[in-house]
Amino acid sequence: MNSIHNVICSSGWWARRAREQLVPWGLEHAELGDRVLELGPGFGAITRLLAARLGGLTVVELDERYCRRLQAEHGDAVTVVQGDATELPLGDSSFSAVVCFTMLHHLASPGLQDRAFAEVARVLRPGGVFAGTDSLGSGPLFRSIHVGDTLTLIDPDGLPARLQAAELLEPRVERGGRSFRFRARRPPA
């Protein structure tokens, strides 16, 4: 992330937005189960919320500095793994749920996003849920925040087919304001 992104994502404003809007909306009626994986937590605003309500939380973050910060903040309460969402260093069928919030547009291409979806399907237990949110990318402010940063927007209308191609069932996508939320499941055993 660039320096503007760093300032925003470490701010109290972002923490409030995560607490009051993103997590409640993104996880509404989601049954996460006992072992949850969060992809791309960055500064950890979502991680703090999830750790407070879940028992078994693992996060995968690409940036080593963010990993160190997350580990220092959460200690043994959260398992922090440095890794790439497109090549998850985790076992098959390990998680009851995988979540990610405003992270997918940071993957450098639609092909990498699709690889991440396939990895999500691989690490989910049968019947496990994949849920989260991402940005629609509307407006010049959103684009200016990403100058010099990766920005690969996802077409919400095309996302269900992409999730199905990754062998995730019952894909649902819903727009809300400047974001969209999504949900899908790994097929039951």
Residues 6+ apart with CB under 8 A from 179: 22, 25, 102, 133, 134, 135, 136
- The predicted-structure confidence for 61-112, as pLDDT tens digits, reads as follows 999 999 999 999 999 999 999 999 999 999 999 999 999 999 999 999 999 9
pLDDT at 178: 87
Predicted confidence (pLDDT) at residue 163 exceeds the cutoff of 90: yes
Predicted confidence (pLDDT) at residue 143 exceeds the cutoff of 70: no
Q: Which domain holds residue 95?
A: 3-185
Task: Look at 146 and 115; give whichever has higher pLDDT.
Answer: 115
Number of domain units in the chain: 1
Backbone angles phi and psi of 176, in degrees to 5 = -160, 110
| Predicted model pTM | 0.93
- The predicted-structure confidence for 35-74, as pLDDT tens digits, reads as follows 999 999 998 999 999 999 888 899 999 999 999 999 999 9
What are the DSSP calls for 76-139, one per residue? GGEEEEE-BTTB--S-TT-EEEEEEES-GGGSSSHHHHHHHHHHHHHHEEEEEEEEEEEE---S
pLDDT at 184: 98
Give residue 150's pLDDT band: very low, low, confident or very high (50, 70, 90): confident
Distance CA 189, CA 181 (A): 26
pLDDT at 4: 67
What are the DSSP calls for 121-188, one per residue? HHHEEEEEEEEEEEE---SHHHHHHTTTS------TTTHHHHHHHTT-EEEEEEEETTEEEEEEEPPP
Q: Among 133, 75, 125, 118, which Cα is nearest to 96's?
A: 125
pLDDT at 5: 65
Mean pLDDT over 174-182 rounds to 94
Name the range with the highest mean pLDDT among 3-7, 116-120, 173-177.
116-120
Distance CA 126, CA 93 (A): 7
| 148: CATH | 3.40.50.150
